[in-house]
Amino acid sequence: MTDQIDALADIAEGGALDELRRRRPVTRDQLQASYDALFSPVDDSAFPGAERALVAAFATRLTADDETARAYADAAASVDSALAEIVAGEAAEAAVTGPYGDFVETGLHHENLDGLRYEPSAAVRDAVGDRLQAALAHTHLLTFRPREAHDQALDRLLAAGWSVDGIVTLSQLVSFLAFQQRVAAGLRVLSATSEKEVAA
């Protein structure tokens, strides 16, 4: 059975990192179960698989041009190569550092930081449609302005045709991808460090 993290981090069966991951079998299984639930759901009517693939490609490319982002870009291209190319271009253009936003809590205002407020261009809106352009904007918001993901942002998704169930799943997907991408990146660093130590 394929383990997505193993694939993204290029972990060989029987190797040191494979052994490391197997020390936490519950964590490993739960991470894979989350991936399966999000990308192979029993019912995807509220958030179709094609949209999930495109959002995943956008979300992962926003934060890094790494193996994880390229894997999701390939998955999106296999669904719709034209839309995948548009989404990839948008993500590359909209990639910033962040996080941005304003704290409303007293005493935290000194941590306020302004930055890009992403809005899909008219050409992108025309190409991908209302639902997907709203999902891309919300994905960028969750990634770089999470403290601003309030009622107004949710109303925008509802107006674009998203259901409450779809919005919840979209938020879960973006959160999962951020975690998965960090785990895979960390394991790749460990793998590279181990190789250097062996070579030395």
Query: Residues 110-133: what's their mean pLDDT?
Result: 89
Tell me the CA end-to-end span of the chain in Å, nearest whole number: 34
Angle at 181 between CA 179 and CA 187, to 5 degrees: 105
Say yes or no: domain 46-185 is CATH 3.90.550.10. no
Spatial distance between the Cα atoms of 16 and 2, rounded to a whole number of angstroms: 18
Q: Is the pLDDT of residue 195 over 90?
A: no
Quote the pTM value. 0.90
Domain boundaries, the chain: 46-185
pLDDT in tens, 53-88: 999 999 999 999 999 999 999 999 999 999 999 999
